[in-house]
Structure 1
Amino acid sequence: MISNYYMPTRIVAGSGSLATVGRLARDLGMTRALVVSDPVISAQGFHADALAALGEAGIATARFDECGIDARCSHIDDQGERVRRDGIDGVICIGGGSVMCTGKGIAIVATNRKPMAECTGVGNFDKRALSMIMVPTTAGSGSEVSQWTIVKDEARHLKLLGGGPLSFPDAAILDAVTLRSLPMRVAALPAVDALTHAVEAYLSAIGSPLTDAIAIGAVRLQFGSLRASINSDDERAREDNLVASCMANVACGNARLGHGHALSLPLEGHLDLPHPYGVGVLLPEVTAFNLAVLPAKVKPLAEALEVETLGLSRGETIAACAEAIRDLYADIAFPTRFTPEQLPAGRVREMAERAVPGLYAGIAARDYDHTTARDATVIACPSARKMTVLQAQEMFERCLA
């Protein structure tokens, strides 16, 4: 099998690395940058420090700090026009996944001169995005090293993915100082998202020994430090989780994401379920589902999840992997089931049908009629095992409270 690995983003990591943002911007040829953030992050001391470092490097800055839970097409289109109008030549994102996806979308729209919704899908634009620097403030999405951006088309209630090699960020700065203001319980949400990235990359049909090694290393590093990162003021654990989340996206950026993301997409678009809840609740189920056809990967994943495999059959080991994830959730106060408000029982079949186009369909998803799906219809997904609409429906039902 031919595999293709590509990771052009420069990664600068470690305590104090945020101070390099001005030099990095100057090295990229930026003279006037749009700094993208949200109202909470823009009030933090480290955000002010980053702006000061940019000023000292001679970089003029404009700001957009109105990002919300989702990256929204309306924000992206408006700011893309602003960037062109004001002669801005770079985008610097300081925030979580939605901030980085917003900034990435702005950088794409600014050079391609068409709405973000028309840029969704795989490689559906022709011009290189503006230069970008990403500063993650959660150990979660890994968007700082990803070519992909996930956006919400509010008019159609769709979550859409867009990207390609022309939209990789130029640099990512991983400094755990940005995690200090994050409430520990809130930190659980992006951390679980990062874990799904690593596990789903490992369970992909288009992975390679290279992505497998990075993915399993990310699982091991994160699983070994996540409880301490969430439940105590452990600076080293936070650093490990920040690096692990970056590694996870390096892996899934090349091996792609799986059933957890494909099935979560309609819940996010049509039921407004926050992304980490969707992929996180589904993770134990999709892990067991795919490990059933990956016998050689069962033990390595179990060991990364700190499962004692001695004396266990393969089936028992798979079940123990799913249970280890649920045990982690209990320790960090993350839910293991969907509430009736999050996923009404009467809409389960509809959500299974709406998952058919998968994560990477882009604008093609807008033309899909979910009522044409049948029990045997296969969900578009690069995971190792094919999943039908009926199997997705049954998985959703097992995840109900």
Structure 2
Amino acid sequence: MITSFYMPTRIVSGSGALATIGMLARDLKMTRVLVVSDPVISAQGFHADALAALSGAGIAVARFDECGIDARCSHIDDQGERVRREGIDGVVCLGGGSVMCTGKGIAIVATNRKPMADCTGVGRFDRKALPMIMVPTTAGSGSEVSQWTIVKDEVRHLKLLGGGPLSFPDAAILDPVTLRSLPMHVAALPAVDALTHGVEAYLSGIASPLTDAVALAAVRLQAASLRASINSDDDRAREDNLVASCMANIACGNARLGHGHALSLPLEGHLDLPHPYGVGVLLPHVIAFNLAVLPAKVRPLAEALEVETAGLSRQEMIAACADAVRALYADIGFPTRFTPEQLPRDRVREMALRAVPGLYAGIAAKDFDPASAHDRTIIASPAARRMTVRQAEEIFERCVG
């Protein structure tokens, strides 16, 4: 099997790293930037410090602070046009995954001169996105090192993925100062999302020794630092969690994401379920499902998740992996099941059918007719084990509490 590994983003990490933002912008030949954020982040002291550093480096600053829970095509298209109109030559994002996906979408649309919906799918645009600097304020989506952006088409109620090598951010700044004001219940959501990235990269059918090494190291660092990062005032743990989140996305950016993301997509698009809830609740089930066909990967994942493996059979280790994730969730206040309101039982079958196109179909997903699928239809996913609609339905059923 031929594999590849590509990571062009420059990563600057550590306490005080945010102070380098002006220098990085100059290095990228930025002269006028759009700073993308949301109303909460734009009120933080570190946001003001970043703006001051950019201005101090002689860079003109325009702002868009209206990002919401999802990156929305309407925001992206409007701001892409604004960027062209105002002669903006760079995008700087300070925020979580939705902010970074919004900024990435703006950078793509600005140079390709077509709506974001037409840029979704794999490599469906021809021009390199505007230069981008990403400052994640959660640990996190890992979008700061990802070529992909996930956006919501509000009209068709679809979550769409777009990207390719032309949309990698140019620089990422990982500074634990951005996590200090994050409430615990908010910090838990992106942290779980990041954990799914590392695990699903490891369980991918196109994983390689390179991606396995990065994914396992990310999971190990997450398991060791996540509780302290969220439940205590520990800057070192926050820094470790930021780095682990970044590593997890480097791994899944090359090995891709699996069933957790494929099954979560219709829940997000049609039931408005926040992304971390979808992938997080599904993760223990995805682990058990895929490890059944990956015997050599069971023990390394169990050990990365801090499972005591001595004396355990392979099947016991698989169960212990899922249990370790659930125990972590309990310690950080993350749910292990969907409520009947989040996933009504009478819509479980529909959601399993709608999951068939998978994560990477992009705009082609709008043409998929769920009525064309049946129990044995395969969910499109690069995961190591193939999953049918019926198996997806069974997993959904076990997830509703």
- For 1:301, the equivalent position in structure 2 comes to 301
CA distance in 1, matches of 2:12, 2:121: 29
CA distance in 2, matches of 1:6, 1:226: 27
Query: 1:19-58 to 2 correspondence within 5 Å?
Result: 19-58=19-58
CA distance in 2, matches of 1:15, 1:275: 29
Helix, strand or coil: the match of 1:11?
A: strand
Helix, strand or coil: the match of 2:132?
A: strand
- For 1:237, the equivalent position in structure 2 comes to 237
Deviation of 1:230 (Å): 1.1
- For 2:187, the equivalent position in structure 1 comes to 187
CA distance in 1, matches of 2:245, 2:291: 22
Query: 1:69-88 to 2 correspondence within 5 Å?
Result: 69-88=69-88
Deviation of 1:35 (Å): 0.1
Map Cα deviations across residues 239-272 of structure 1 (whole Å, 9 max, x no partner).
1000000000000000000000000000000000
- For 1:289, the equivalent position in structure 2 comes to 289
Map Cα deviations across residues 276-319 of structure 1 (whole Å, 9 max, x no partner).
00000000000010000000000000000011111111111100
Runs of at least 4 residues of structure 1 off by over 2 A?
none
Q: Is 2:212 the partner of 1:212?
A: yes
CA distance in 2, matches of 1:115, 1:377: 32
Letter in 2 for 1:278: G
CA distance in 2, matches of 1:148, 1:232: 32
Query: 1:2-401 to 2 correspondence within 5 Å?
Result: 2-401=2-401
Map Cα deviations across residues 177-226 of structure 1 (whole Å, 9 max, x no partner).
00011012210000000000000000001111000000000000010111
CA distance in 2, matches of 1:104, 1:142: 13
Letter in 2 for 1:256: R
When normalised by structure 2's length, the TM-score is: 1.00
Deviation of 1:20 (Å): 0.5
Q: What do you get for the CA RMSD once the two structures are aligned?
A: 0.4
CA distance in 2, matches of 1:319, 1:215: 20
CA distance in 1, matches of 2:74, 2:221: 37
Identity over the aligned pairs, expressed in percent?
85
Deviation of 1:73 (Å): 0.0
CA distance in 2, matches of 1:380, 1:186: 31
CA distance in 2, matches of 1:99, 1:135: 10
Deviation of 1:372 (Å): 1.0
CA distance in 1, matches of 2:34, 2:366: 31
Map Cα deviations across residues 10-53 of structure 1 (whole Å, 9 max, x no partner).
00001111000001001100000000000000000000000000
CA distance in 1, matches of 2:392, 2:46: 43
When normalised by structure 1's length, the TM-score is: 1.00
CA distance in 1, matches of 2:323, 2:399: 14
Letter in 2 for 1:295: P
CA distance in 1, matches of 2:288, 2:324: 11
- Return 5+ residue gaps in structure 2 as ranges: none
CA distance in 1, matches of 2:8, 2:366: 31
Letter in 1 for 2:277: Y
Paired residues, number = 401
CA distance in 1, matches of 2:166, 2:254: 14
Helix, strand or coil: the match of 1:195?
A: helix
